C-alpha cells in the first residue's frame, strides 16, 4: 500500500488550515452505496488505493473520477454510504480530491469511517443545491454558502468526540498522540 | 429506569451507567477483520506501532471474501494477514474456515459480549444476545490494539414478530418484510431488539438470518434476548459455559415499538437495486433467471441447505441456469455431506463451492454477465454487487431460490411444498 500518498492527501485537505472549503457541487441521489463508490469487482485494487481511486463512484457516475478536481464537494440525498464497512470508500473519495460530502443523512459506518480518516461529512438539507453550484463551507461556523445561488444552508454540528478525532487528524493520530483514547 | 439490552451490555463494558445517547469508551470481547478490510487494519496498526494485539484468543483475521485467492494482488493481501496473525498471536481463519460471521457465531461470540468486526454484517452475532456491530478498518485496528472502542449508546427499536409463520415463509421473509416496512435507513444509528411470541420460538439459525440483515435497515445492532435455544446452541458448539441470561428490563425505554402480525406475511422478494424494494412473490410477475445463489452469511447454514435440498431432491434445475451453493462454514459443509445434502445438490445440477463468501461480493465464483439476472439468498442486491453493474440481483429465502432454480423463473415455493 502506498501509505505516503494517503498521508500527503490527508495533510493537503484544503479545509484544514482555516476551516474553509471551496468547491463545485457534484450532485447524487439517495442511497449511494459503498458498492457504487468502491465497486467489489475492483476488490484486488484495495491494496493499491491510488489505482482504486481512479474508479471512485464509477457505478454512480462513470466520468466522476475524470471530472473531479481537488476540493470539489459531493452532494447527495439520504443514506449516503450505505452497505459495506469498506473504509476504502471514503478513503478513495478523499484521494480523488473530494473536499467534503454533504448529505441529508449518512449510513452509520461510512460516517464514522470518514471522520476516522479525516474527510468532513456534513448533514444538511441538500435539496436546494444543484450540479455545478459553487459552494463555500465554513467548518467552524457551520454554514454553507451557495455562491451560485446566493443562499446559505446550515449544517448539523458534529458530536464532540468526532471533532476531537478530526482535529487530531484522524483516529490513528488521536490514539498515537494520547497513547489511547482521550475522548 | 429500566434498560434495553444495548444499554445493559454497554454499561457493563464501560463501568458506567449508560443510557441511550451517551458516548463511552467500552471494552470489547471479540475483534475481527476479513481479507477485504484486514490489510488496511494491519497497515493502521503498524502506523500506531503495534505488532501485537491486546487479546489474541479473541482477535481473528478471516480469509473468506476471496478464498482461495483468484489473483495475485489478493494473494499478497492474504499473505499480509497470515504473517501479521503469526507475528501478533491473533487467530487466522484461513480459506478453509468459512464466512467470518458464521464462524464467529459458531466459535467465538457469547451472550453479553461486545463484538466488533470490520464488516458491516458483524451484527449477525446479535442473535446470540451479543452487542455486535460493524466498523471500518481503522476502528478495528484500534480494537485489535487496545481491546477498546468508543460507541454512542443507541436508542432501541423493539420489533415484535407475533402470530404464526405460514408454510413456505421463513426468517428471511420476515426480515425482508420488516426492511420494506421501515426502509433501508429506517433504523440508522438504532439498535433493534427482536422480540414477540414468534421471535421467541425461532431457532438459532433463523435468528442469525434476521440479525444478519439488521444493518440493511441501517441498524447498528440487531439483538435477541437469550433463552433455552441460545443455551442449547452453545452447548452443541461445546461452548455451553459461556451462556448467560441477557434480557431487557420490563420498563426499558424504547424509541419505537413495531408489532408485526406474521400471519399476513408471504414469501418476499427484494427487487434490484435495494433491499427495501420488496414485494410478495405473487406480485413479482415473470422474471426469468440466469443464476441462483444459495449460501452466504445470511442463508448458508445447515437448516437453509436442508430446506433447499428438500425441494431439489429428485429434481433437475432448469436448462440454461446455474445454481451455485456455498456452505457458510467448514462445519456446515461437513454436516451437509454427512446428511447427503451435497449429493442431492450435485444430482440436481448444482455447483458446490468451498465455504466462504462465494460470489456474494462480486470477486469470483459467479460474477454476472451484462443484463443477467440472479436470484440470491444473500443480504444485499446493490447495483454492481455481484461484479457487474449491468446485472440484476433479486433476494429471497433458500426455499424460493431452490424452487425458482427448478422452474427457471422466480416462483412461489409454496407450489413445491403442497
Ligand atoms: S457472504 Fe456476502 S454479505 Fe456475508 S460477509 Fe461475505 S461478502 Fe459480506
How far apart are the CA of B296 and the centre of ligand 1, in A?
Answer: 6
Among A30, A43, A182, the strongest candidate for a mutation testing the B interface, having the largest count of B CBs within 10 A, is: A43
- Residue A1's pLDDT is 33
**Whether the Cβ atoms of residue B212 and residue B379 lie closer than 8 Å to each other:** yes
**Whether the Cβ atoms of residue B311 and residue B348 lie closer than 8 Å to each other:** no
- Residue A139's pLDDT is 87
Residues B112-123 have pLDDT tens digits of 999 999 999 999
Q: Which residues pair with B134 in a beta bridge?
A: B117
Q: Is the pLDDT score of A60 beyond 90?
A: yes
Q: Is the pLDDT score of B336 beyond 70?
A: yes
Q: A44: distance to nearest CA of chain B, Å?
A: 5
Does A183 lie at the interface with B, CB-CB under 8 angstroms?
yes
Beta-carbon separation of A79 and B389 below 8 A: no
- Residue B16's pLDDT is 96
Whether B5-261 shares its CATH topology with B270-415 is answered: yes
Q: Is the pLDDT score of A17 beyond 90?
A: no
Q: Is the pLDDT score of A7 beyond 50?
A: no
**Whether the Cβ atoms of residue A58 and residue A84 lie closer than 8 Å to each other:** no
Residues of A in contact with B141 (CB under 8 A): 172
In whole angstroms, give the CA distance from residue A34 to residue B144. 24
In whole angstroms, give the CA distance from residue B190 to residue A32. 20
Q: Is the pLDDT score of A4 beyond 60?
A: no
ipTM over 0.90: yes
**Whether the Cβ atoms of residue B374 and residue B292 lie closer than 8 Å to each other:** yes
Residues of B in contact with A180 (CB under 8 A): 146, 148
Q: Is the pLDDT score of A15 beyond 60?
A: no
Residue of B nearest to A38 (CA): B384
Cα distances (Å, whole numbers) of residue A51 to A38, A47, A55, B358: 11, 9, 8, 25
**Whether the Cβ atoms of residue B163 and residue B157 lie closer than 8 Å to each other:** no
Torsion angle of C-alpha atoms B314, B320, B321, B324, degrees rounded to 10: 90
Q: Is the dihedral of CA B65, B67, B70, B74 positive or negative?
A: positive
How far apart are the CA of B379 and the centre of ligand 1, in A?
Answer: 8
Cα distances (Å, whole numbers) of residue B257 to B5, B123, B161, B260: 15, 20, 11, 10
Looking at domain B270-415, its CATH superfamily turns out to be Aconitase, domain 3 (3.30.499.10)
- Which of A51, A47, A36, A44 has the alpha carbon at shortest distance from A81? A36
CB pairs under 8 A between A and B: 151
- Which of B394, B404, B348, B400 has the alpha carbon at shortest distance from B374? B394
Residues B370-389 have pLDDT tens digits of 999 999 999 999 999 999 99
At B400, which helix (H) or strand (E)? helix B398-407
Atom of ligand 1 nearest to the CA of B120: 8
In whole angstroms, give the CA distance from residue B378 to residue B366. 13
- Residue A19's pLDDT is 80
Residues B382-415 have pLDDT tens digits of 999 999 999 999 999 999 999 999 999 999 999 9
How far apart are the CA of B297 and the centre of ligand 1, in A?
Answer: 6
Question: What value does the mean pLDDT take over residues A75-81?
Answer: 97
Q: Is the pLDDT score of B164 beyond 70?
A: yes
- Residue B418's pLDDT is 83
Residues of B in contact with A176 (CB under 8 A): 47-49
Q: DSSP assignment of B206-224, as one string? A: HHHHHHHGGGGGT-SEEEE
Mutational pocket test of ligand 1: of B360, B362, B367, B385, the residue with most ligand atoms within 8 Å of the beta carbon: B360
CATH number 1.10.287.110 is the correct assignment for the domain at A19-157? no
How far apart are the CA of B314 and the centre of ligand 1, in A?
Answer: 30
**Whether the Cβ atoms of residue B27 and residue B13 lie closer than 8 Å to each other:** yes
Q: B163: distance to nearest CA of chain A, Å?
A: 31
Annotated domain spans of chain B = 5-261, 270-415
Cα-atom radius of gyration of chain A, to the nearest Å? 15
- Which of A151, A144, A148 has the alpha carbon at shortest distance from A123? A144
Give Cα B126 to chain centroid, integer Å: 10
Q: Is the pLDDT score of A103 beyond 90?
A: yes
Annotated domain spans of chain A = 19-157
CB B323 near ligand 1, within 6 Å: no
Torsions phi, psi for B393 (to 5 deg): -115, 130
In whole angstroms, give the CA distance from residue A77 to residue A106. 9
Question: What value does the mean pLDDT take over residues B313-329?
Answer: 98
In whole angstroms, give the CA distance from residue A156 to residue A39. 30
SS (H, E, C) chain A: CCHHHHHHHHHCCCCCCCCEEEEEEEECCCCCEHHHHCCHHHHHHHHCHHHHHHHCCCCCCCCHHHHCCCCCEEEECCCECECCCCCHHHHHHHHCCCCEEEECCECHHHHHHHHHHCCCEEECCCCCCCCCCEEEEECCCCEEEECCCCEEEECCCCCHHHHHHHHHCCHHHHHHHHCCCCC
pTM of the predicted protein model: 0.95
A132 C-beta neighbours (distance < 10 Å), count: 10
In whole angstroms, give the CA distance from residue A167 to residue A164. 5
Q: Which class is B5-261 in CATH?
A: alpha beta
Question: What value does the mean pLDDT take over residues B88-113?
Answer: 98
- Which of B254, B278, B282, B250 has the alpha carbon at shortest distance from B266? B282
Question: What value does the mean pLDDT take over residues B129-142?
Answer: 98
- Residue A58's pLDDT is 96
In whole angstroms, give the CA distance from residue B223 to residue B225. 7
In whole angstroms, give the CA distance from residue B182 to residue B203. 24
Q: What is the DSSP letter of B240?
A: G
Residues of B in contact with A62 (CB under 8 A): none
Q: DSSP assignment of B358-375, as one string? A: GGGGSSSS-PPPTT-EEE
- Residue A3's pLDDT is 37
Amino acid at each position: 500500500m502506498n501509505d505516503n500518498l494517503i498521508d500527503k492527501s490527508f495533510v493537503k485537505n484544503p479545509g484544514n488550515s482555516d476551516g474553509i472549503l471551496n468547491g463545485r457541487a457534484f450532485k447524487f441521489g439517495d442511497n449511494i452505496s459503498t458498492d457504487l463508490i468502491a465497486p467489489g469487482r475492483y476488490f484486488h485494487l484495495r491494496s493499491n488505493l491510488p489505482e482504486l481511486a481512479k474508479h471512485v463512484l464509477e457505478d454512480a457516475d462513470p466520468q466522476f473520477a475524470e471530472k473531479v478536481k481537488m476540493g470539489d464537494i459531493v452532494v447527495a440525498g439520504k443514506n449516503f454510504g450505505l452497505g459495506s464497512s469498506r473504509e476504502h470508500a471514503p478513503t478513495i473519495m478523499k484521494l480523488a480530491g473530494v473536499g467534503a460530502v454533504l448529505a441529508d443523512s449518512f449510513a452509520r459506518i461510512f460516517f464514522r469511517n470518514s471522520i476516522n480518516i479525516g474527510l468532513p461529512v456534513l448533514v444538511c438539507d441538500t435539496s436546494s443545491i444543484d450540479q455545478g453550484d459553487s459552494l463555500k463551507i465554513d467548518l467552524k461556523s457551520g454554514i454553507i454558502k451557495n455562491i451560485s445561488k446566493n443562499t446559505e444552508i446550515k449544517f448539523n454540528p458534529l458530536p464532540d468526540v468526532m471533532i476531537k478525532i478530526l482535529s487530531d487528524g484522524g483516529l490513528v493520530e488521536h490514539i498515537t498522540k494520547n497513547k489511547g483514547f482521550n475522548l | 429506569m429500566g434498560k434495553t439490552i444495548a444499554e445493559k451490555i454497554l454499561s457493563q463494558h464501560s463501568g458506567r451507567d449508560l443510557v441511550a445517547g451517551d458516548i463511552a469508551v467500552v471494552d470489547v470481547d471479540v475483534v475481527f477483520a476479513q481479507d477485504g478490510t484486514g490489510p488496511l487494519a494491519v497497515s493502521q496498526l503498524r502506523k500506531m506501532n503495534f505488532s501485537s494485539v491486546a487479546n489474541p484468543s479473541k482477535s481473528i483475521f478471516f480469509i473468506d471474501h476471496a478464498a482461495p485467492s483468484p489473483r495475485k494482488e489478493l494473494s499478497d493481501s492474504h499473505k499480509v494477514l497470515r504473517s501479521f496473525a503469526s507475528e501478533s498471536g491473533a487467530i487466522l481463519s484461513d480459506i478453509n474456515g468459512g464466512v467470518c460471521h458464521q464462524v464467529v457465531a459458531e466459535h467465538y461470540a457469547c451472550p453479553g459480549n461486545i463484538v466488533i468486526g470490520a464488516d458491516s454484517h458483524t451484527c449477525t452475532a446479535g442473535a446470540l444476545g451479543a452487542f455486535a456491530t460493524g466498523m471500518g478498518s481503522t476502528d478495528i485496528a484500534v480494537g485489535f490494539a487496545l481491546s477498546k472502542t468508543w460507541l454512542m449508546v443507541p436508542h432501541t427499536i423493539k420489533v415484535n414478530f407475533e402470530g404464526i409463520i405460514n408454510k413456505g415463509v421463513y426468517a428471511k421473509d420476515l426480515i425482508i418484510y420488516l426492511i420494506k416496512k421501515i426502509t433501508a435507513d429506517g433504523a440508522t444509528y438504532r439498535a433493534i431488539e427482536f422480540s414477540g411470541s414468534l421471535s421467541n420460538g425461532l431457532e438459532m439459525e433463523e435468528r442469525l438470518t434476521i440479525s444478519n440483515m439488521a444493518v440493511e435497515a441501517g441498524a447498528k445492532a440487531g439483538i435477541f434476548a437469550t433463552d433455552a435455544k441460545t443455551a442449547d446452541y452453545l452447548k452443541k458448539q461445546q461452548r455451553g459455559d459461556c451462556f448467560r441470561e441477557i434480557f431487557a428490563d420490563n420498563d426499558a425505554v424504547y424509541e419505537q415499538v413495531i408489532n408485526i402480525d406474521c400471519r399476513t406475511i408471504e414469501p418476499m422478494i427484494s427487487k434490484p437495486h435495494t433491499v427495501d424494494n420488496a414485494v410478495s412473490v405473487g406480485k413479482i410477475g415473470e422474471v426469468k433467471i440466469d443464476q441462483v445463489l444459495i449460501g452466504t452469511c445470511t442463508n448458508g447454514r445447515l437448516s437453509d441447505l436442508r430446506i433447499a435440498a428438500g425441494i431439489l431432491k429428485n429434481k433437475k434445475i432448469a436448462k440454461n441456469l446455474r445454481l451455485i451453493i456455498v456452505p457458510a462454514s467448514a462445519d456446515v459443509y461437513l454436516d451437509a455431506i454427512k446428511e447427503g445434502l451435497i449429493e442431492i445438490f450435485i444430482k440436481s445440477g448444482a455447483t458446490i463451492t468451498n465455504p466462504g463468501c462465494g460470489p456474494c461480493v462480486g470477486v469470483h465464483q459467479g460474477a454476472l454477465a451484462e443484463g443477467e439476472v440472479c436470484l440470491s439468498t444473500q443480504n444485499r442486491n446493490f447495483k454492481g454487487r455481484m461484479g457487474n453493474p449491468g446485472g440484476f440481483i433479486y433476494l429471497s429465502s433458500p426455499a424460493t431460490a431452490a424452487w425458482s432454480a427448478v422452474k427457471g423463473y422466480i416462483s412461489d415455493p409454496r407450489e413445491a411444498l403442497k
